[in-house]
C-alpha cells in the first residue's frame, strides 16, 4: 500500500526530508518506511453530504505519490500484480522471510564448504579456507558440477525472494530492532569469511596481485603467470594455481589503494596463498560491516537500511562470500556521501575530497560517486565548494597513482575498457556483426569488429547518463539529491556498461538503503539477481589439482 502525501518541490538540490529535533523523519512525511494509510479508511464510503451541515472549507488538494512509480507499461503492471500476490502471501511474514534468506545463504555456503572437498568446483577457486578444510576432514561430499549449479541457482533465487519478503513484511509493519539485526549479521559474516569464496575467482587474483607487489614487482606489468613456477598449463606456484587460467596473463586493473590492501594481506600470508586469501576475506568482511554501521547510525530509517545492507542475503553472497573489493569501495563511497550531506565547514569539503580520491584509488567507477556528489553543488551553484572538493579529490587520486606505480597503473584500464561481457546487448551486437561477416576475409572481420567496439565505446556512456537521468527524475523530489543521483548513476552503470557483474552494484545498494521505499529497489533486486544467476563461476576447470590447504 502506498503512502500518499504532497511532497514539496526540490528547491534545493541537497535538501533533506523534514526532521524533528531528534533527527527522525517528521510525522506525515515519507521518510518513515512504515507510514501507511489505513485501508479501511480508503474503502469507507463518504458521508451523506445532503444531511451534513454546509462547510466553507476548501477541498483538499489532490494527493501525490511520495515515491512516483517508474512507468513501465505492461511490464510494470505485471510486476505490480506479482508483487501484490506475493506481498499478501504467508511468505511475506517475518519468520518465513528470514527463513528463506537463511536458506539462500546456507545453500551458497554449502557450495563453498563442499566445492573443494576433495576436488575443484566450477563455483569456487581451488583453495581451502579453515571451515572448508574442516568440512573436508569431516567427510563433506564433493559436489558435481550439475549439483553445484542447481544449488547455486536455487540459493540465489531464495536470496532474492527472502530479501523481497523481508522488505514487504517491513512495509506491513514489521520493525525489528535494527541493532539486533546488525549484530546478528555481524555474527553470520564472522562465520562466512572462513569459507572458500563462492561465485568468482576475483579474490584469488587479488591474492596473486598482492603477492606480486609484496615481492617488489609491479602488478600492473608483472603477470600472475610470471611468478616463480607459474608458467605453463600446470603451474606449481601456490598463488598462480588459485588464479583462473583465463586471468593468469592479465595484469591488475585495480587502483593503488586496492593493490596496497592486497599487498598487506600477502605480507601476512607469505608463501601460504590460502592465508593471504583468508586475510583478504576478513578485510572485505570488516569493510562490509563498517559500511552497515555507518548506515545504521545515519539512515533516517535504520530498519530499512540494515535490511538492505547487512541483512541483505543477495549482497552478502556477492560481497562477503565472494570476497570482492567492492565492499571497500562502498565503505568510502557512503562515508563521502554522508559527510557531503552534512558539510558546514571547509574541512568537511576537504574530507569529502579525500574520501572520493581514495575511492578512486580503489576502482575507477568511483568517478560515479564523484559525479553524484557534484550534481547538487552544480544545482545550487556552489562553485567554491565544487572546485574545492573537485581539486582535492582529483589531486588525491592523481597522487595515489602517480607516486605509487605511475602511468603503468592506468594502462590496464585502457585494455579493460574495451571488454564486453556476455550476455549484454553489446555482446548481442557483436554476435550479429560476427554472423553477418562470417564469409568475409579475416582482415574485414577484424576491421568490422574494431569499428563496432569503437561505436560501443562512444555509445554506452551517454546511454548511461540518459538512463541515470530517467531513474533520478522518478525518485521523490523530497530525497537528498546526492543520494538519489549516486544511486541512479551506479544502477545505470550495471545495466548499460559493456562489462557488468553483480558485485558492481554495491554502491547502488548502499545508496538505496538511505532512500525511502521506492520502486527502484525492486528493479535493483531483479538486476542484481539476474547478474548473480548469470555470473557465478570459480573460473577453473574441474580437473585441476587441489590448491594450498591450511
39 occurs within a structural domain:
no
356 occurs within a structural domain:
yes
Nearest one of 286, 126, 98 to 193, comparing CA atoms = 286
Average pLDDT over residues 40-60: 42
Place of cell 569501495: 329
Which pLDDT value is given to residue 6?
A: 32
What confidence tens digit (pLDDT) does each residue in 178-192 have? Answer: 999 999 999 999 999
* pLDDT over threshold 80, residue 220: yes
Which pLDDT value is given to residue 75?
A: 63
Average pLDDT over residues 468-472: 93
Using pLDDT thresholds of 50, 70 and 90, give the confidence band for residue 447.
confident
* pLDDT over threshold 70, residue 64: no
Round to whole Å and give the CA distance between 160 and 139.
31
Q: Which conformational region is residue 386 in: left (phi greater than 0), alpha (psi within -120 to 50 degrees), or beta?
A: alpha
Average pLDDT over residues 406-429: 84
Which pLDDT value is given to residue 211?
A: 97
Round to whole Å and give the CA distance between 120 and 148.
11
Neighbours of 180 (CB within 10 A): 10
Using pLDDT thresholds of 50, 70 and 90, give the confidence band for residue 203.
very high
Nearest one of 241, 233, 256 to 208, comparing CA atoms = 241
pTM, to two decimals: 0.84
User: What is the torsional sign of CA 109, 112, 114, 115?
Assistant: positive
Task: For the chain, give the mean pLDDT.
Answer: 83
Percentage, residues of the chain above pLDDT 70: 81
Cell numbers found for residue 543: 580437473
Cell numbers found for residue 103: 536458506
* pLDDT over threshold 80, residue 306: yes
Average pLDDT over residues 397-419: 88
10 occurs within a structural domain:
no
Which pLDDT value is given to residue 540?
A: 57
Place of cell 588525491: 396
Round to whole Å and give the CA distance between 317 and 388.
38
Cell numbers found for residue 333: 563511497
**SS3 of residue 65 by DSSP:** strand
Neighbours of 193 (CB within 10 A): 24
Which pLDDT value is given to residue 378?
A: 93
**SS3 of residue 269 by DSSP:** helix
What confidence tens digit (pLDDT) does each residue in 145-171 have? Answer: 888 889 999 999 999 999 999 998 998
Of the listed ranges 64-68, 295-299, 352-356, 536-540, the least confidently predicted one is: 64-68
Average pLDDT over residues 388-406: 95
* pLDDT over threshold 70, residue 449: yes
Using pLDDT thresholds of 50, 70 and 90, give the confidence band for residue 541.
low
Which pLDDT value is given to residue 118?
A: 55
Cell numbers found for residue 407: 602511468
38 occurs within a structural domain:
no
Cell numbers found for residue 526: 531483479
Average pLDDT over residues 350-373: 95
**DSSP conformation letters of 291-352:** HHHHHHHH-SSHHHHHHHTTT-HHHIIIIIITT-THHHHHHHHHHHHHHHHT--SHHHHHHH
Using pLDDT thresholds of 50, 70 and 90, give the confidence band for residue 70.
low
Which pLDDT value is given to residue 116?
A: 66
The reply to whether omega before 118 is within 30° of 0 (cis) is yes
* pLDDT over threshold 80, residue 50: no
The DSSP symbol for 25 reads: B
Which pLDDT value is given to residue 60?
A: 46
62 occurs within a structural domain:
no
User: What is the torsional sign of CA 242, 255, 480, 10?
Assistant: negative
Cell numbers found for residue 225: 603467470
* pLDDT over threshold 50, residue 18: no
Which pLDDT value is given to residue 56?
A: 47
Higher pLDDT, 91 or 173: 173
Using pLDDT thresholds of 50, 70 and 90, give the confidence band for residue 79.
low
Cell numbers found for residue 307: 535490511
* pLDDT over threshold 50, residue 345: yes
* pLDDT over threshold 50, residue 451: yes
Element (H, E) at 5: strand 4-5
The boundaries of the domain holding residue 506 are 72-550
Cell numbers found for residue 190: 564472522
Nearest one of 20, 31, 220, 207 to 127, comparing CA atoms = 207
Round to whole Å and give the CA distance between 122 and 104.
19
Round to whole Å and give the CA distance between 442 and 447.
9
C-beta separation of 507 from 369 below 8 A: yes
233 occurs within a structural domain:
yes
Nearest one of 260, 269, 262 to 238, comparing CA atoms = 269
Average pLDDT over residues 136-141: 86
Say how many domains are in the chain.
Answer: 1
241 occurs within a structural domain:
yes
Round to whole Å and give the CA distance between 98 and 453.
45
Average pLDDT over residues 206-213: 97
Element (H, E) at 64: strand 64-65
C-beta separation of 505 from 163 below 8 A: no
Which pLDDT value is given to residue 442?
A: 83
Cell numbers found for residue 60: 483538499
- Phi and psi at 26, nearest 5°, equal -70, 155
Average pLDDT over residues 273-282: 96
C-beta separation of 162 from 169 below 8 A: no
* pLDDT over threshold 50, residue 28: no
* pLDDT over threshold 50, residue 471: yes
Round to whole Å and give the CA distance between 520 and 474.
9
48 occurs within a structural domain:
no
Amino acid at each position: 500500500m502506498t503512502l500518499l502525501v504532497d511532497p514539496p518541490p526540490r528547491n534545493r538540490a541537497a535538501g533533506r526530508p523534514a526532521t524533528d529535533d531528534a533527527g527522525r523523519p517528521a510525522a506525515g512525511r515519507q521518510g518513515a518506511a512504515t507510514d501507511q494509510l489505513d485501508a479501511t479508511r480508503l474503502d469507507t464510503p463518504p458521508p451523506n453530504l445532503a444531511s451534513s451541515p454546509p462547510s466553507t472549507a476548501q477541498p483538499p488538494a489532490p494527493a501525490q505519490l511520495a515515491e512516483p512509480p517508474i512507468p513501465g507499461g505492461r511490464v510494470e503492471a505485471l510486476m505490480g500484480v506479482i508483487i501484490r500476490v506475493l506481498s499478501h502471501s504467508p511468505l511475506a511474514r517475518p519468520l518465513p522471510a528470514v527463513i528463506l534468506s537463511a536458506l539462500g545463504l546456507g545453500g551458497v555456503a554449502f557450495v563453498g564448504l563442499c566445492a573443494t572437498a576433495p576436488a575443484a568446483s566450477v563455483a569456487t577457486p581451488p583453495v581451502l579456507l579453515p571451515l572448508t578444510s574442516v568440512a573436508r576432514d569431516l567427510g563433506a561430499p564433493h559436489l558435481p558440477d550439475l549439483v553445484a549449479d542447481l544449488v547455486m541457482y536455487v540459493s540465489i533465487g531464495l536470496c532474492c525472494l527472502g530479501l523481497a519478503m523481508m522488505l514487504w513484511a517491513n512495509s506491513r509493519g514489521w520493525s525489528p530492532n535494527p541493532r539486533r539485526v546488525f549484530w546478528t549479521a555481524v555474527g553470520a559474516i564472522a562465520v562466512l569469511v572462513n569459507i572458500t569464496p563462492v561465485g568468482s575467482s576475483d579474490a584469488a587474483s587479488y591474492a596473486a596481485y598482492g603477492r606480486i607487489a609484496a615481492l617488489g614487482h609491479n602488478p600492473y606489468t608483472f603477470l600472475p603467470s610470471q611468478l616463480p613456477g607459474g608458467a605453463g598449463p600446470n603451474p606449481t606456484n601456490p598463488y598462480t594455481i588459485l588464479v583462473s587460467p583465463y586471468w593468469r596473463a592479465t595484469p591488475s586493473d585495480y587502483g593503488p589503494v586496492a593493490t596496497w590492501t592486497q599487498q598487506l594481506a600477502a605480507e601476512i600470508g607469505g608463501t601460504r596463498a590460502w592465508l593471504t586469501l583468508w586475510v583478504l576475506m576478513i578485510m572485505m568482511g570488516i569493510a562490509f560491516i563498517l559500511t552497515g554501521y555507518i548506515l545504521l547510525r545515519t539512515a533516517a530509517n535504520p530498519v530499512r537500511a540494515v535490511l538492505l545492507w547487512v541483512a541483505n542475503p543477495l549482497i552478502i553472497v556477492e560481497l562477503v562470500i565472494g570476497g570482492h573489493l567492492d565492499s571497500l569501495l562502498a565503505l568510502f563511497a557512503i562515508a563521502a556521501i554522508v559527510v557531503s550531506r552534512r558539510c558546514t565547514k571547509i574541512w568537511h569539503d576537504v574530507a569529502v575530497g579525500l574520501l572520493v580520491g581514495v575511492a578512486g584509488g580503489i576502482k575507477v567507477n568511483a568517478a560515479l560517486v564523484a559525479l553524484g556528489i557534484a550534481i547538487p553543488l552544480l544545482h545550487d551553484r556552489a562553485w567554491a565548494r565544487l572546485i574545492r572538493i573537485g581539486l582535492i579529490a582529483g589531486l588525491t587520486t592523481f597522487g595515489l597513482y602517480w607516486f605509487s606505480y605511475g602511468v603503468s597503473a592506468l594502462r590496464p584500464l585502457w585494455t579493460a575498457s574495451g571488454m564486453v561481457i556476455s550476455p549484454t546487448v553489446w555482446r548481442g551486437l557483436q554476435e550479429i556483426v560476427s554472423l553477418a561477416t562470417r564469409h568475409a576475409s579475416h582482415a574485414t572481420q577484424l576491421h568490422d569488429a574494431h569499428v563496432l567496439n569503437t561505436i560501443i565505446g562512444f555509445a554506452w556512456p551517454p546511454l548511461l547518463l540518459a538512463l541515470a537521468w530517467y531513474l533520478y527524475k522518478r525518485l521523490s523530489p523530497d530525497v537528498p539529491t546526492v543520494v538519489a543521483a549516486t544511486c541512479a548513476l551506479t544502477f545505470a552503470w550495471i545495466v548499460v556498461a559493456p562489462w557488468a557483474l553483480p558485485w558492481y552494484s554495491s554502491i547502488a545498494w548502499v545508496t538505496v538503503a538511505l532512500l525511502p521505499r521506492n520502486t527502484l529497489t525492486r528493479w535493483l533486486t531483479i538486476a542484481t539477481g539476474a547478474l548473480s544467476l548469470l555470473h557465478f563461476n570459480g573460473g577453473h576447470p574441474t580437473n585441476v589439482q587441489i590448491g594450498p590447504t591450511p
